[in-house]
Amino acid sequence: MGLNMAKDSYIYAVARIRTHETKLLNHQFMEQLIAAPDEDAAMKLLVEHGWGAPEMTAEQMLDREKKKTWELIRELVPDNIDVFDVFLYQSDYHNLKAAIKKCCTSDMHDGIYEEDGITIDPKEIEKAVAARDFKALPERMQEPAAKAMETLLKTRDGQLCDIIIDRAALDAIREAGKATGSKLLALYGEYVAAMSDVKICARAVRTGKDRTFLGNALADCEHLDVSSLADSASQGEESFKTYLGSTGFSAVVDMLSKSPSAFECACDSYLIEQIQPQLHNSFGIDPLAAYILARRMEIKSVRIILTGKRNDLPGESIRGRVRETYV
């Protein structure tokens, strides 16, 4: 049916999604997980809630929940799944990076690819990269794949390879969001790019990266002047914080001084806040998109909680890293 599927075509899908929304993990349940004495107890609570199975490891459970999300969406909109590519490209480009590094180095291990929530089989990506047949890849991937592989072979610098692919991923996400005709997905694409740029600059400030690095790493976006952002970050933390404080992203500034994890959490929360007005739209694809986003956030939060339990972190420390819930 294409990206312009009529809004009334989603009526059944939206009704089904509303039922599944009642099963999302709420704030009270997240608090129960945080209060659990250890990882096993937290896992048991999740199994009782319908997540995974008793014999699964934490990672197997999280992978299964991600898979269940996309199985549901494919069942509901089998002829229009590409409208949600904006959520899938990050995994595709992760797989592209992994394939390039596997083909250029000898230190890659099994399990490097993401198998669910993708638009192209990672084996196809690896086959194209190994043969340097970049035209076998989707058009949006061809140029960055060739450039990243050439850069890695010449410099042996994995980070230079990463920034080429990461920037291409953000460009693809922005374009995919715009192409849907959905205000929510267009906003999502824009804010993913903007928040990624802010995170890149924050890390660059901590590691002393220069202006040239930032110029290569940052993706264009409508909500930030990328050139001014790069200038400020290259001049140090105070300059970066001052510039962010003058933009719509001032809400995350205070978290810069706390910890990288608190800052990352604040960035995710800020993204949700910006698209919040669209999350409860009752028509078209937006309710399905909102559900996908809610599932991504709750899976991320459960991963944080289980990892915290595994490492004996205090509850308050874990709580500070958990994302806002949708319900």
Output the pLDDT for position 7. 53
Residue spans of the domains in the chain: they are: 1-80+285-327
Q: Taking the CB of residue 258, how many other CB atoms lie within 10 A of it?
A: 12
Output the pLDDT for position 1. 41
Output the pLDDT for position 8. 56
Going from the first residue of the chain to its last (327 residues), give the mean pLDDT of each consecutive group of 10, the final group possibly shorter: 53 91 93 96 97 94 94 91 93 96 78 88 96 96 97 93 96 95 91 93 92 95 94 95 89 80 83 77 85 91 96 92 72
Output the pLDDT for position 269. 83
Q: Which residue has the tokens 């043969």?
A: 131
Inter-residue contact 140 to 168 (CB < 8 Å): yes
Output the pLDDT for position 326. 60
3-class SS string, the chain: CCCCCCHHHHHHHHHHHHHHHCCCCCHHHHHHHHHCCCHHHHHHHHHHCCCCCCCCCHHHHHHHHHHHHHHHHHHHCCCCHHHHHHHHHHHHHHHHHHHHHHHHCCCCCCCCCCCCCCCCCHHHHHHHHHCCCHHHCCHHHHHHHHHHHHHHHHHCCHHHHHHHHHHHHHHHHHHHHHHCCCHHHHHHHHHHHHHHHHHHHHHHHHHCCCHHHHHHHCCCCCCCCHHHHHHHHHCCHHHHHHHHHCCCCHHHHHHHHCCHHHHHHHHHHHHHHHHHHHHCCCCCCHHHHHHHHHHHHHHHHHHHHHHHHHCCCCHHHHHCCCCCCCC
Give the CATH number of domain 1-80+285-327; options: 3.40.50, 1.10.405, 1.10.132, 1.20.58: 1.10.132
Inter-residue contact 3 to 309 (CB < 8 Å): no
Output the pLDDT for position 3. 43
Say what the pTM is. Answer: 0.88
Output the pLDDT for position 107. 64
Output the pLDDT for position 251. 80
Backbone angles phi, psi at 303, to 5 degrees: -60, -45
